[in-house]
Amino acid sequence: MSGKRVLVTGATGYIGGRLAPRLLEAGYRVRVLARSPDKLRDVPWADDVEIVRGDLDDAESLRAACRDIDVVYYLVHSMGGRDEFVDAEKRAAQNVADAARDHGVSRIVYLGGLHPESGDLSPHLYSRAQVGRILTDSGVPTLVLQAGVVIGSGSASFEMIRHLSNRLPVMTTPRWVNNRIQPIAVRDVLHYLLAAADAPLPRSGTYDIGGPDVLRYGEMMQQYSEVAGLTKRRILVLPVLTPKLAGLWIGLVTPIPPPLGRALLESLSTDAVMRNHDVDSIIPPPESGLTGYRDAVRLALGRIERGEVETTWTNASPVGAPADPLPSDPDWAGEVVFTDERSLESDSSQEKVFAVVESIGGENGWYSFPLAWTIRGWLDRFVGGVGLHRGRRDPKTLHTGDALDFWRVERIERPTLLRLRAEMRAPGGAWLEWRVEPLESGRSRVHQRAIFFPRGVAGRLYWYALVPFHGIIFRGMLENIAGTAGR
């Protein structure tokens, strides 16, 4: 039981959301920094950590978060950001370095990306290397771990491999398909991160981590197909297929949005192999050994089949998506707002109706006019949005902050309230909300409300253009929710 106090940045993300509970199990006292603390309000470990509101761009909030902290985990990276993200990440890293130094933090642990020593790097790999340099030059002892493709249920890299292999028996790829990759299981990444808090560190240093297998990306897809029971995939290499074009193609056939797909592909444009095994001198491998690629795939698929996906790449909101919560209701602070409100009584209990509400979206559908939802999802993809492909992490249960197709769970209070915030591209902010109240004799009433804050003339035109469809979409949705609960 260490008793050290650690700060985890990126706790709402894929790695941070898995590391925080493991730090607790190891006896650390954990503080987490989140721009939107509500995203963590109903994770299983929320009551055992100190949650503080803050942002890496806000130096004051960082200084407050670093007070009385022994170890800072830097687990933030803008994989889907626009071109200016390099400068933004440089500022964020400098803010963390300054705050940690000013408050006497004894160690920074940063998870970066594997990359060759020489040659041109993609903007994302360059940015991650730059962040590592800033932190190691901060004067605070810093341990940088550099990992390549992370294989685990819900990771963006694994989901790209999974969906490409599942959906395309024949696929075209850029030249990078023949580059050498050293993938690592997410369980092994967490092993190194957890040990990094107390590992002997005579001076700041950068250490490569990876699994036992070195493969070409094409081999990774073929081996995935074998483990998943698929027929052998045919891979056609097209030298003229650029990362941008390939990113658009990834966006069409997988849940990964084009900007994120492009960033992942650019990171694969060079070999990503460990240069040495120096990490063994400070952190020994897991007692059972590092996880091979096939075993990592098998473990990830098993968790997906059992519905035990702990965190996913969708935990992070896409760049440009609305992040502000629904303004106070019923006073809309003088803003123009459009609403569609409907209510319906059900012979089913409050708990049964809410269970249907909570299972909405993903493979379960939206209970009305499926073609309209499909078209809206494809239109969103066409303009660079997330579309409907993200689905949902669990078929029955939602948590605050979960991605749900092109929505995000803003608030859930079982068995009374579910509120979703739209992350599709639209000229305004949109929310969809259900409230379920109990009635006498085991019956219930469902209140459904769609809310839209238009942005300019385009927002008003957008709402009015959809008004003729509201009767079909929203009335049908409410009736089918009540009907499904009754059945």
Confidence of residue 241 (pLDDT cuts 50, 70, 90): low
Query: Angle, to 10 degrees, between the axis of helix 293-306 and the axis of helix 156-167?
Result: 80
pTM (2 decimals)?
Answer: 0.80
pLDDT at 443 exceeding the cut of 80: yes
Amino acid residing at 84: E
Tell whether 326 is covered by a domain: no
Amino acid residing at 408: R
Amino acid 40: pLDDT: 87
Distance from C-alpha of 343 to C-alpha of 451, rounded to nearest angstrom: 15
Tell whether 72 is covered by a domain: yes
Question: Which of 55-59, 230-234, 246-250 is predicted least confidently?
Answer: 246-250
Domain count, the chain: 2
Question: Which of 27-36, 235-244, 340-349 is predicted least confidently?
Answer: 235-244
Tell whether 320 is covered by a domain: no
Specify the pairing of strand 444-454 against strand 428-438. antiparallel
- Residues 357, 292 share a domain: no
Distance from C-alpha of 370 to C-alpha of 365, rounded to nearest angstrom: 7
- Residues 346, 275 share a domain: no
Tell whether 332 is covered by a domain: no
Strand order in the sheet with 142-147: 50-53, 29-34, 5-9, 71-74, 107-113, 142-147, 205-208
Helical H segments across 168-197, by residue range: 186-196
pLDDT at 296 exceeding the cut of 70: yes
Which of 258, 274, 302 is at the close of a domain?
Answer: 302
Tell whether 232 is covered by a domain: yes
Which residues span the domain enclosing 443?
338-486
- Residues 277, 203 share a domain: yes
Using DSSP, state whether 368 is helix, strand or coil: coil
pLDDT at 456 exceeding the cut of 80: yes
- Residues 218, 349 share a domain: no
Which of 287, 302, 317 is at the close of a domain?
Answer: 302
Count of alpha carbons within 13 angstroms of residue 399, beta-carbon side: 20
- Residues 101, 147 share a domain: yes
Question: Average model confidence (pLDDT) for the chain?
Answer: 87
Confidence of residue 116 (pLDDT cuts 50, 70, 90): confident
Tell whether 331 is covered by a domain: no
- Residues 464, 385 share a domain: yes
Enclosing H/E stretch for 144: strand 142-147
Which of 252, 278, 302 is at the close of a domain?
Answer: 302
pLDDT at 266 exceeding the cut of 80: no
Angle CA(136)–CA(137)–CA(143) in degrees, nearest 5?
Answer: 10
Distance from C-alpha of 233 to C-alpha of 227, rounded to nearest angstrom: 13
- Residues 396, 256 share a domain: no
DSSP string, 258-315: HHHHHHHHHHTSS-B--S--GGGGTSPPPTT-PPPHHHHHHHHHHHHHHT-----GGG
Burial degree of 69 (CB within 10 A; 0-12, 13-18, 19+): buried
- Residues 234, 93 share a domain: yes
Amino acid 331: pLDDT: 62
CATH number at residue 148: 3.40.50.720
Confidence of residue 455 (pLDDT cuts 50, 70, 90): confident
- Residues 383, 270 share a domain: no
- Residues 215, 78 share a domain: yes
Average pLDDT of the residues in 168-179:
78
Confidence of residue 177 (pLDDT cuts 50, 70, 90): confident
pLDDT at 228 exceeding the cut of 90: yes
- Residues 235, 356 share a domain: no
Distance from C-alpha of 342 to C-alpha of 482, rounded to nearest angstrom: 13
DSSP string, 33-100: EES-GGGGTTSTTGGGSEEEE--TT-HHHHHHHHTT-SEEEE----TT--TTHHHHHHHHHHHHHHHH
Phi, psi angles (nearest 5°) of residue 149: -70, 125
pLDDT at 242 exceeding the cut of 70: no
Q: pLDDT by residue (tens digit) across 70-113?
A: 999 999 886 555 556 788 889 999 999 999 999 999 999 999 99
pLDDT at 468 exceeding the cut of 60: yes
- Residues 371, 276 share a domain: no
CATH number at residue 449: 3.30.530.20
Confidence of residue 373 (pLDDT cuts 50, 70, 90): confident
Tell whether 312 is covered by a domain: no
Count of alpha carbons within 13 angstroms of residue 44, beta-carbon side: 9
Distance from C-alpha of 403 to C-alpha of 473, rounded to nearest angstrom: 21
Tell whether 254 is covered by a domain: yes
Question: Which of 38-47, 281-290, 382-391 shows the highest mean pLDDT?
Answer: 281-290
Confidence of residue 21 (pLDDT cuts 50, 70, 90): very high
Cα 261 from chain centroid (whole Å): 13
